[in-house]
Amino acid sequence: MLEVKGVCAGYGRVQVLWDVDLTVSANEIVALVGPNGAGKTTLLRALSGMVPIRDGSVTFLGEDITGRSIERIVDLGISHVPEGRRLFPGLTVKDNLRLGGWRNRNTDIDRVIDLFPKLGDRLSQVTGSMSGGEQQMCAIARGLMGKPDLIMIDELSMGLAPVIVEEIIGRLADIAASGTAVLLVEQDVDAALTVAERAYVMETGRVVMSGNAGVLLADPRIQQSYLGIA
Amino acid sequence: MTGFLQATVYGLLQGGLLALVAVGFSLVWGVMNVVNLSHGAFVVLGAYVGWQLNTSLGLDPFLGMVIVALVLFCIGYAVQRFLINLVVNGPIFITLLLTFGLELLLVQGMNIVFTANYQSIPTSYAGNAIVLGGIQVPLGRLLAFLLAVGITVLLVKVMANTRIGMSIMATGMDRGAARLMGIRARHVYALTFGIATALAGMAGTMVGTVGTFNPAAAGGFTLLSFVIAVLGGLGNMYGAMVGGLLMGLVQAWGGYYLSGTWVNALAFLVLVIVLMFRPSGLVGKAFYAARVEV
Ligand SMILES: Nc1ncnc2c1ncn2[C@@H]1O[C@H](COP(=O)(O)OP(=O)(O)OP(=O)(O)O)[C@@H](O)[C@H]1O
Ligand SMILES: [Mg+2]
């Protein structure tokens, strides 16, 4: 469904991504892990059109989306839950969700509330005053309002307690099963590789390992570098 | 006492109109972080379009306002889409310079087309006054006040309750996040600027029915809009209303008690005092208070 081939991208004169290949199939959960500064966020930005792609190509559902505008890529069915969540802080949960459905005029919030029932009690609360976990739920729910074929989530666990992370990550399988593939960028490598079917490991802007998530989880190099197992 | 009351009524009526003059300026600043120095020129342009419709077609200015709004919207949309959008992500200094240049261009253009002479848009009824307990309420001013307040309230409702309003608000808060929702930010910016110039143009036409105008008045309207927007709280549309009314009152009372040149100084004195006690303006934080850049 998503096919990334030889993508190079960066900021100004600095090139961050070098020749990145990656694929995501329909209804699949794919994890993207790597140390700080590896370029994970930059890759998601390049895929959603926030950072220009210098070389290589991105194909989504058979259409070449390289160099398309952010809005056009959203139209085609890629939703990006950005690093830091970027909720509209002065607006309520409900308004944030409605904005998530702005493009396809989707006002049916029940579907995403079923996924995150906690949000149902907070619909009229201003998102700026919610806990980090609730904000992340709201951000993902907002990202799902457009009924995307692919949702890319950056740093799902950032600043959250482990129980909350577990709760949210537990919903990813439901999201994938309902027809939205997930590309998950995550610091918590253990959690990410457990929920994902396949995974990519990035270091200094390059994909250095990829494959079945279970196999990677058992790989001694991964255990040593990311899981602190000697 | 009657003199004071008369000044107060006059100030409130004028204030409502000033609110409409300023609300678009405040909107553009709030949503795009652009201090539009050409705002006053659009007010005057609106007055001239209304005046032209009146002199060549005999159209009543309060009806002609609809056409003025349409014309000014189209001009504003195009100016933002094809000009200001090019630099809107740059430092505020660049947009200041660009809109300053635009103001010079518009004012000079109007000087050439309409000459520098003072004009006004006459009607048969604007000068008639209702007299209430010895206080004169000129019909034209009353009509302008009611329309101005009505349009401002309508604008706030549109912003809060419509699809377009929601997209404008969201883009003002966080352009990047809004784009990730599929909202076309460049189009939204152009719409916002078009709405602002349409409102400015309508205000201008009404200014022309209750007083006089010439191209050189543009700078004064920009300055007033600036003061009113800051007074009310940037980007806050009800704030512009409160700021406008206060400014109208200050000017009227100042004119009643002080000699001419003091009035302008008084307006700024009020601004300084308000900001000393309420740095975010009279009405306070606007929707974009937690703006995120990039
Ligand atoms: N806006 C920017 N402008 C310039 N350079 C940037 C920008 N954002 C990131 N970089 C640089 O790009 C490189 C990759 O950053 P990126 O944010 O993609 O990494 P990451 O893998 O997401 O890291 P983290 O785990 O810390 O989020 C880093 O060297 C960073 O300094
Ligand atoms: Mg990152």
Taking only the tens place, the pLDDT of each residue in A150-198 is 999 999 998 899 999 999 999 999 999 999 999 999 988 999 999 999 9
Query: What one-character DSSP code corresponds to residue B9?
Result: H
Ligand 1 atom nearest to A43, measured from its CA: 18
Ligand 1 atom nearest to A34, measured from its CA: 21
Q: What is the pLDDT of residue A6?
A: 96
Least-confidence region, from A43-47, A90-94, B1-5, B25-29: B1-5
- Are B288 and A90 within 8 A, CB to CB? yes
* B138 sits in which H/E element: strand B135-138
Beta-bridge partner residues of B138: B129
- Report the 10 Å Cβ neighbour count for B3: 11
User: What mean pLDDT is reported for chain A?
Assistant: 94
Judged by a CB distance cut-off of 8 A, whether residue B170 touches chain A is yes
pLDDT at residue A62 greater than cutoff 90: yes
pLDDT at residue B250 greater than cutoff 50: yes
Q: What is the pLDDT of residue A229?
A: 67
Least-confidence region, from A104-113, B112-121, B150-159, B279-288: B279-288
Interface test with A, best of B169, B181, B234, B294 (most A CBs within 10 A): B181
Ligand 1 atom nearest to A45, measured from its CA: 18
pLDDT at residue B293 greater than cutoff 50: no
Q: Does A2-77+148-226 carry CATH code 3.40.50.300?
A: yes
Beta-bridge partner residues of B132: B135
The SS3 assignment for A110 reads: helix
- Are B181 and A80 within 8 A, CB to CB? no
Q: What is the pLDDT of residue B257?
A: 86
pLDDT at residue B294 greater than cutoff 60: no
B235 burial level (CB within 10 Å; 0-12, 13-18, 19+) = buried
Predicted complex ipTM: 0.93
CA atoms within 13 Å, Cβ hemisphere of B265 = 5
The SS3 assignment for A81 reads: strand
The arithmetic mean of pLDDT across residues B75-100, rounded, is 94
What distance in Å separates the CA atoms of residue A47 and residue A68, rounded to the nearest whole number? 10
Protein residues placing their CB within 5 Å of the ion ligand 2 = A 41, 83
Kindly report the pTM of this predicted structure.
0.90
- Are B180 and A102 within 8 A, CB to CB? no
Contacts of B31 in chain A (CB under 8 A): none
**CA of residue A91 relative to chain centroid, distance:** 23
Please tell me the distance between residue A158's alpha carbon and the centre of ligand 1 in angstroms. Answer: 15
**Token pair recorded at residue B173:** 């808060």
Q: What is the pLDDT of residue A230?
A: 57
pLDDT at residue B291 greater than cutoff 60: no
What distance in Å separates the CA atoms of residue A159 and residue A177, rounded to the nearest whole number? 27
Q: Residue holding tokens 């995307």?
A: A148
Residue range(s) of every CATH 3.40.50.300 domain in chain A? 2-77+148-226
Q: What is the pLDDT of residue B290?
A: 46
Closest by alpha carbon to B172, among B98, B236, B102, B78? B236
Q: Is the CB of A84 under 6 A from ligand 1?
A: no
Q: Which of A17, A42, A48, A53 to mutate to test the pocket of ligand 1 (most atoms within 8 A of CB)?
A: A42
Closest by alpha carbon to B230, among B271, B178, B291, B173? B271
Minimal Cβ distance to B182: which of A82, A95, A146: A146
Q: What is the pLDDT of residue B177?
A: 95
pLDDT at residue A122 greater than cutoff 90: yes
Q: What is the pLDDT of residue B265?
A: 81
Q: Are A193 and A214 in contact (CB under 8 A)?
A: yes
**Token pair recorded at residue A75:** 């139209």
Q: Residue holding tokens 């994909």?
A: A207
- Are B182 and A71 within 8 A, CB to CB? yes
Q: Is the CB of A10 under 6 A from ligand 1?
A: no
Dihedral of CA B144/B145/B147/B148: which sign? positive
- Are A48 and B289 within 8 A, CB to CB? no
Nearest chain B Cα to A146, which residue? B181
Helix pair B237-257, B218-232: axis angle to 10 deg: 120
The arithmetic mean of pLDDT across residues A84-88, rounded, is 93
SS3 of A68-132: the string is CCHHHHHHHCEEEECCCCCCCCCCEHHHHHHHHCCCCCCCCCHHHHHHCHHHHCCCCCEHHHCCH
The arithmetic mean of pLDDT across residues B68-75, rounded, is 98
| Total residue length of chain B | 294
Q: Is the CB of A37 under 6 A from ligand 1?
A: yes
The arithmetic mean of pLDDT across residues B20-29, rounded, is 94
pLDDT confidence of B262, banded at 50, 70, 90? confident
Minimal Cβ distance to B179: which of A71, A87, A98: A71
The SS3 assignment for A22 reads: strand
Instruction: Let me know the angle formed at the C-alpha of A1 by A50 and A106, rounded to the nearest 5 degrees.
Output: 65
Dihedral of CA A54/A55/A60/A65: which sign? positive
What distance in Å separates the CA atoms of residue B9 and residue B134, rounded to the nearest whole number? 12
Minimal Cβ distance to A99: which of B181, B185, B292: B181
Domains of chain B, earliest start first: 2-289 (1.10.3470)
pLDDT at residue B285 greater than cutoff 60: no
Instruction: Let me know the angle formed at the C-alpha of B250 by B247 and B254, rounded to the nearest 5 degrees.
Output: 145
Query: What one-character DSSP code corresponds to residue A148?
Result: -
Instruction: Let me know the angle formed at the C-alpha of B61 by B56 and B67, rounded to the nearest 5 degrees.
Output: 80
Beta-bridge partner residues of A126: A92
CA atoms within 13 Å, Cβ hemisphere of B273 = 8
The arithmetic mean of pLDDT across residues B49-63, rounded, is 96
